[in-house]
């Protein structure tokens, strides 16, 4: 006889099963594998005279010039995973000089307007 419950055996069996690190993608298999698509993206980037192309231009050239029909998001994902995306530029604006507190000198005084009232 066993000195512990059966649920312990089943729990240990379940824990012993190896879970794959990367599960297979669900749904139908794509016509173009990721490896073939990566090779096509790399060839397109090397043939381009520009430096730092984005995924939209690469996707359009693959579709039009090479007749490779894939999702734009898939091209973006593969380029992001391989650090091939163009650098993201953030616009630098002027710093705000306003501290965020507006106080009037006396109550019930209009000191500014937004152009919605017109007095005649």
Profile the chain (120 residues) by mean pLDDT over runs of 10 residues. 81 78 80 95 92 91 95 95 85 76 72 60
- Label residue 78 left, alpha or beta by phi (over 0 means left) and psi (-120 to 50 means alpha): alpha
pTM for the model stands at: 0.56
What domain count does the chain have? 1
Range of the domain at 48: 31-87
Asked if residue 83 belongs to a domain, the reply is yes
Asked if residue 36 belongs to a domain, the reply is yes
Asked if residue 63 belongs to a domain, the reply is yes
Q: Tell me, what's the pLDDT at 2? A: 67
CA gap 101, 104 in Å, rounded: 10
Asked if residue 92 belongs to a domain, the reply is no
55 close to 72: Cβ distance less than 8 angstroms: yes
Asked if residue 38 belongs to a domain, the reply is yes
Mutual orientation of helices 72-81 and 55-64 as an angle, nearest 10°?
A: 130
Q: Tell me, what's the pLDDT at 46? A: 93
Asked if residue 67 belongs to a domain, the reply is yes
Asked if residue 75 belongs to a domain, the reply is yes
Q: Tell me, what's the pLDDT at 37? A: 96
Q: Tell me, what's the pLDDT at 118? A: 57
Asked if residue 35 belongs to a domain, the reply is yes
């Amino acid at each position: 006889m066993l000195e512990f419950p059966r649920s312990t055996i089943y729990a240990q069996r379940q824990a012993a099963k190896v879970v794959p690190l990367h599960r297979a993608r669900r749904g139908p298999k794509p016509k173009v594998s990721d490896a073939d698509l990566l090779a096509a993206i790399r060839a397109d980037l090397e043939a381009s005279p520009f430096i730092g192309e984005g995924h939209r231009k690469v996707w359009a050239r693959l579709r039009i010039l090479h007749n490779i029909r894939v999702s734009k998001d898939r091209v973006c994902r593969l380029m992001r995973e391989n650090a091939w995306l163009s650098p993201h530029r953030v616009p630098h604006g002027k710093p705000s000089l306003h501290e965020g507190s507006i106080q009037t000198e006396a109550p019930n005084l209009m000191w500014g307007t937004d152009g919605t009232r017109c007095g005649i």
